[in-house]
Chains A and B, each alone.
Chain A
Amino acid sequence: MKLHVHLSPNWVLDSEMREYPPQEEVDFCIVGTGAGGGVLAQRLARYGFSVVCLEAGPWHDSETDMVSDEAASSRLYWEDLRITGGTEPLEFGANNSGRGVGGSTVHYSAFCPRLHPSDFRVRTLDGVAVDWPISYEDVEPYYEMMEREYPVTGPAYFPWGKPHGYPYAPLQAGTAGQMLIKGCVKLGIRVVAGGPVSIPAGAVGKRPHCIMRGFCNLGCKVGAKHSITVSHIPDAIEHGAEIRDRCMAYEIPLDDEGKVTGVRYYRTVDHDRYTAEEQRARAVVVAGYAIETPRLLLNSKSSRFPDGLANSSGLVGKNLMAQAGPVVWGRFDEMIRQYKAPPACAETEEFYETDPRNDFVRGYSLQTVAPLPISMAHLIADEDGCFGEELLLAMEDYNHYACIGVLGEILPDVRNYVSIAEAKDDYGIPVAYAHFNLSDNDKRMMRAGIGKAKEVLVAAGAVETHSVHRYAHLVGTCRMGFSPSDSVVDKWGRSWDVPNLFVCDGSLLPTQGSANPALTISALAARMADWIRTAARGSELQKRPRPSDRGAT
């Protein structure tokens, strides 16, 4: 079919997209088109595989579907029901869940830091959580690839983790971003300006440069900010992948040999009318992010897997992690006008690693954030429930606030999980229930991060500071590991239980560090694609892993 989607004002994606009849068995059916699924589709299509991506949401045309308006952007988010509980119930929707081609990358702020080498060895180094079955060095070449493909802008020398440099120069900071830089400099804290963020200062391909409009979290109408839709989806389509939008997967069927045969889904034909279809595939990749991925697996029950597909470990949905994301804001006497320029601008990872002087292990990053008016009003209301003149006066100071996001490492805990609720969505599919609590380590880390962010703001000149708890990013619910008993998938993202089933999104991450996960998810997808290319040659994808494969690292 002929596409017609604006990805920026002067770039219409008008490719002739290949379409596969659902009954035709393709090599790969990928559920989801975000940081994981989108990159994997592009790689696999380039490697010559036939690929169909099922995307629950629609294409977002940058000219007609994206607006510079907080209240009218719900189309970009996963707005279907999820039930949230625990002592710190997570908020979903606009906070962390995208819907549509490109997934959550459509509305992410585009901070793209790497994990640190230590993140892969948390158990060894700190005696908590788990080690990854792979090392930083395994992912490093893929980080380098993704930093050029997104591309990521930042300093020529980035001092944290394994020091490296960025290929593209950063954008200018707005006044709000300059407050983090100023405060850190005053306190002698190393800080980097302009990245790592995937918003190039110049044009990239058909993408123009940024116009500083500040609506990054509501989709970039300019096409300057990175999303997988502008970086990888066009190339995937160019190489023969089909992106089938408005198709909501609900079950992955299994054959008698214990292999998956495709994906069952509801396809929207117009408005509220949809039909059930089944795409046949030699292999299936679930890339729906850390809530929808376990939901689809847990909803796919069979006699072989009565507790959900690929769940012999019982770990599908377990170890749900959000990143701590408290927002700290300071009021300044001078004008800030935080709505100008991209919110993602500057950060420090000086407090990322375990510091024996702390009363907690692991750490946090401090990053710029810049809430638009509704988000700011919600922060003020959340802090202590104020109302009336107190609220209006606090909001009248909108242009005097600069904000810092504390991005902190919450450790995996099996008591935090995704399961299936009794409620159903509009399709009649049982919805996800998410349960989330904090450990003492998490609480101490957040307290320290909030305190440090306040110090920075005061050093920059803030006359008063405030904070509220927030949580960002969702990972960990189908972790990769060393053996079928300690994880859902192996180090390549392949199910231990089902040889032709993969997970390719944030669910894979055994731990999360204090780095925004998009770049890591894409790097793991590219790495997975390279392994699949080799494995497919030896027809390994059609075999159950031999016992000798298990536990091999």
Chain B
Amino acid sequence: MVCDRYPGYHVLDQRGHWDEATRRVVLDRVHNVPPFRHLDAHQRATLEALCDRVIPQTHRSPSRKVPIAPWIDQNCGREVLGGFRFEDMPANSVAWQWGLEGLDQTAQALFNTHFVDLDGARQDEVLQTVRGGDPPGEVWQRMPARRWWIAVALRQITGQYYAHPYAWDEIGFGGPAYPRGYFALNHGAPEPWESREAPSSRRGKS
């Protein structure tokens, strides 16, 4: 169960201590979410459903929900992402179109309906099948499912989520620290402006 590990911690409260260039890009991410331009309505709904299963945000109040799908749509305007393309993969925008279509094909094969029309548990079953690497669906004959799942879907969805300061609050990340720097270096101690972890929230020892 996801819980509030660092109660009361809001890294954005420190923005006055960040340098101007960093503050600009982080606040821009929070306040200026790009409109959808590239994916059609059904693709968009499928993508949003996918993002909700990969990063469930039911523990967040609606105003603190981190938008993910709009940034992925924005990435679909770029052919190359990150400086390379796997030889067995199409360009980034095509990989998303095919992948979302593939989720529908797998959902059809397993449950005879579209991915967005399934409940969460069945959507997870579809995603587990894709994760497994050999899902039913014609798309997955021309694009390796496991590669799409990890290198496209998970990388981009987690990349967007953990780029957001609300996600930093959740994991207790100190965030940008220039020009102030960090001083508490031993025993994982917090800086005076960082929150301590709530003792009751720790996972049990494995």
- Residues of A at the B interface (CB closer than 8 Å) are 9, 63-72, 74, 77-85, 89-94, 97, 172-175, 178, 211-215, 221-222, 331, 333-337, 339-341, 372-374, 376-378, 380-382, 385, 387-389, 391-393, 395-399, 433, 463-464
Question: Distance in Å from the Cβ of A27 to the closest Cβ of chain B?
Answer: 33
* Closest Cβ neighbor of A381 among chain B residues: B154
User: Which residues from A are CB-within-8-Å of B83?
Assistant: 77-82, 92-94, 97
CA distance A94 to B21 in the complex (A): 20
Partner of A67, one of B22, B183, B184, B187: B22
CB pair A392–B56 under 8 Å, yes or no, is yes
B41 located at the interface, meaning its Cβ lies under 8 Å from any Cβ of chain A in the complex: no
CB pair A91–B56 under 8 Å, yes or no, is no
CA distance A385 to B185 in the complex (A): 32
CB pair A91–B85 under 8 Å, yes or no, is no
**Contacts A64-B21, A66-B21, A67-B21; A84 near B167 (Cβ below 8 A):** no
User: Which residues from B are CB-within-8-Å of A340?
Assistant: 174, 182, 184-185
Question: Distance in Å from the Cβ of B23 to the closest Cβ of chain A?
Answer: 9
CB pair A374–B159 under 8 Å, yes or no, is yes
User: Which residues from A are CB-within-8-Å of B167?
Assistant: 373
CA distance A393 to B203 in the complex (A): 9
B94 located at the interface, meaning its Cβ lies under 8 Å from any Cβ of chain A in the complex: no
CB pair A84–B185 under 8 Å, yes or no, is no
CA distance A72 to B177 in the complex (A): 15
CB pair B163–A70 under 8 Å, yes or no, is yes
* Closest Cβ neighbor of A173 among chain B residues: B185
CA distance A335 to B154 in the complex (A): 27
**Contacts A84-B85, A335-B188; A388 near B183 (Cβ below 8 A):** no
CA distance A172 to B127 in the complex (A): 45
Partner of B185, one of A74, A174, A331: A174
B124 located at the interface, meaning its Cβ lies under 8 Å from any Cβ of chain A in the complex: yes
Partner of B2, one of A9, A373, A392: A392
Question: Distance in Å from the Cβ of B200 to the closest Cβ of chain A?
Answer: 13
CB pair A395–B178 under 8 Å, yes or no, is no
- Residues of B at the A interface (CB closer than 8 Å) are 1-2, 5, 18-19, 21-22, 25-26, 29, 53-56, 79-80, 82-88, 124, 127, 131, 146, 149-150, 154-155, 158-163, 167-168, 170-190, 197, 202-203, 205-206
CB pair A387–B131 under 8 Å, yes or no, is yes
Q: For the complex, would chain A's binding face be called helix, strand, loop or mixed by DSSP majority?
A: loop
CB pair B87–A84 under 8 Å, yes or no, is yes
Question: Distance in Å from the Cβ of A536 to the closest Cβ of chain B?
Answer: 37
CB pair A337–B183 under 8 Å, yes or no, is no
User: Which residues from A are CB-within-8-Å of B25?
Assistant: 67, 69, 71-72
User: Which residues from B are CB-within-8-Å of A339?
Assistant: 173-174
Q: Could you list 11 examples of A-B contacts with CB < 8 Å?
A: A64-B21, A71-B163, A77-B83, A79-B82, A82-B84, A93-B84, A333-B202, A373-B168, A377-B162, A385-B149, A393-B203
| 10 nearest A-B pairs in the assembled complex, by CB-CB distance | A335-B188, A211-B181, A93-B83, A68-B176, A85-B87, A71-B163, A377-B158, A381-B154, A398-B171, A213-B177
CA distance A304 to B6 in the complex (A): 67
CB pair B82–A172 under 8 Å, yes or no, is no
CA distance A65 to B127 in the complex (A): 39
CB pair A85–B86 under 8 Å, yes or no, is yes
CB pair B29–A71 under 8 Å, yes or no, is yes
Q: For the complex, would chain B's binding face be called helix, strand, loop or mixed by DSSP majority?
A: loop
CB pair B87–A395 under 8 Å, yes or no, is no
Question: Distance in Å from the Cβ of A43 to the closest Cβ of chain B?
Answer: 30
Partner of B171, one of A70, A215, A399: A399
Partner of A393, one of B2, B54, B154, B185: B2
CB pair B5–A396 under 8 Å, yes or no, is yes
CA distance A222 to B127 in the complex (A): 44
CB pair A397–B84 under 8 Å, yes or no, is no
CB pair A69–B26 under 8 Å, yes or no, is yes
CB pair A396–B171 under 8 Å, yes or no, is yes
CB pair B55–A392 under 8 Å, yes or no, is yes
* Closest Cβ neighbor of A66 among chain B residues: B21
User: Which residues from A are CB-within-8-Å of B22?
Assistant: 67-69
User: Which residues from B are CB-within-8-Å of A89?
Assistant: 86-87
CB pair A385–B55 under 8 Å, yes or no, is no
* Closest Cβ neighbor of B83 among chain A residues: A93
CB pair B162–A395 under 8 Å, yes or no, is yes
Partner of B86, one of A9, A65, A84, A381: A84
CB pair B80–A80 under 8 Å, yes or no, is yes
CB pair B163–A63 under 8 Å, yes or no, is no
User: Which residues from B are CB-within-8-Å of A331?
Assistant: 206
User: Which residues from A are CB-within-8-Å of B179?
Assistant: 9, 211, 221-222
User: Which residues from B are CB-within-8-Å of A333?
Assistant: 202, 205
CB pair A215–B178 under 8 Å, yes or no, is yes
CB pair B172–A175 under 8 Å, yes or no, is no
Partner of B187, one of A69, A175, A464: A175
